[in-house]
């Protein structure tokens, strides 16, 4: 029953929260660049516009892969908000990302293929740190369940400062923001084509954008776990502040090469994440 309720809550609230986050992201980015910027609800307008456009399906499997991408992200978020197993939720999110890569490869276009390969590189860069963060929760609290993590009232931020900093680092990769926006850029001046979504259009591209809104909500909820021991009136603003810190990083850094992305993320995961995990295992 909890899984059903969690799935329904994520299904309804996920794109609304994710769309508002994306709207604030665009407004803050515009202000940092001395522009007026779009209205807050622009992400929703874009999705409605894409939904009404006629799509060009390059490969008949592409639409299926995109649908699977959405389904597995919904499964990941539903498990999370139902208080289920965090490790299984992360695995479901990863499977969804793999289907997204497969959708780009299905187009058999050099631009899409390059974007897909870069997306795989980004996954290689951020997945180790994600798994280290989940393992640290289990080591500290003895459970992978989100409900146990939230109800434990353990100050995770104080016990896991290295994990938190490492997670902040890979968030830039997961959100596809500079300096690690390799597979697809949110800024038009950085790309002649759209990377991984170059050959996606119409309702397929609308589904991709909707899935990204769900992903944004999931990421915000994951950030919240580090502040869950605090009162809600303090924890939620802090989680939002951390999320929008990534917007600042996005607008103050130039893109790095893929080699630097993978090396730097693994170094961060190895030093901050693994060392913090080791210290927790020794002293607790």
Closest residue by Cα to residue 212 from 62, 70, 1, 68: 70
Sign of CA dihedral 157, 243, 218, 166: negative
- The total of other beta-carbon atoms located within 10 Å of residue 30's CB is 14
pLDDT at 70: 95
Closest residue by Cα to residue 90 from 215, 181, 199: 215
Annotate 234-245 with DSSP letters as a single string: HHHHHHHHHHHH
pLDDT at 75: 92
**How much is the pTM?**
0.91
CA–CA gap between residue 72 and residue 24 (Å, rounded): 26
* b/e burial code for range 51-85 (CB count within 10 A of at least 16 → b): eeeebebbeeebbebbebbbebbbbbbbbbbbbbb
Helix (H, G, I), strand (E, B) or coil at 231: coil
pLDDT at 98: 93
pLDDT at 188: 54
Could you say which DSSP state residue 188 is in? G
Euclidean distance between the first and final Cα of the chain, in Å?
35
pLDDT at 124: 87
pLDDT at 193: 59
The parts of the chain modelled with pLDDT lower than 50 are none
Tens of pLDDT, residues 150-183: 888 888 888 888 899 989 888 888 888 877 777 7
């Amino acid at each position: 029953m909890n899984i059903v309720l969690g799935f329904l809550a994520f299904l309804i609230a996920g794109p609304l929260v994710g769309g508002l986050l994306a709207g604030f992201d665009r407004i803050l980015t515009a202000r940092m660049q001395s522009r007026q910027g779009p209205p807050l609800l622009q992400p929703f307008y874009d999705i409605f516009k894409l939904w009404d456009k006629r799509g060009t399906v390059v490969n008949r499997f592409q639409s299926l892969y995109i649908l699977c991408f959405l389904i597995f992200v919904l499964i990941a978020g539903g498990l999370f908000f139902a208080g289920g197993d965090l490790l299984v939720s992360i695995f479901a999110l990863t499977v969804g990302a793999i289907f997204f890569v497969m959708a780009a490869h299905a187009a058999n276009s050099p631009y899409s293929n390059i974007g897909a390969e870069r997306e795989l590189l980004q996954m290689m860069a951020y997945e180790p740190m994600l798994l280290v963060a989940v393992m640290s929760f289990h080591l500290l609290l003895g459970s992978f369940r989100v409900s146990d993590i939230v109800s434990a009232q353990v100050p995770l931020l104080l016990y896991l400062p290295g994990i938190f900093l490492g997670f902040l680092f890979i968030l830039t990769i997961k959100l596809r923001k500079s300096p690690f926006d390799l597979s697809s850029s949110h800024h038009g001046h950085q790309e002649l084509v759209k990377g991984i979504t170059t050959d996606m259009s119409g309702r397929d591209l609308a589904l991709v954008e909707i899935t990204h809104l769900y992903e944004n909500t999931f990421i915000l909820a994951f950030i919240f776990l580090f502040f869950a021991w605090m009162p809600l009136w303090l924890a939620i603003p802090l989680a939002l502040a951390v999320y929008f810190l990534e917007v600042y990083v996005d607008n103050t850094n130039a893109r790095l090469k893929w080699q630097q992305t993978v090396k730097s993320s693994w170094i961060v995961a190895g030093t901050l994440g693994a060392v913090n995990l080791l210290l927790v295992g020794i002293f607790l």
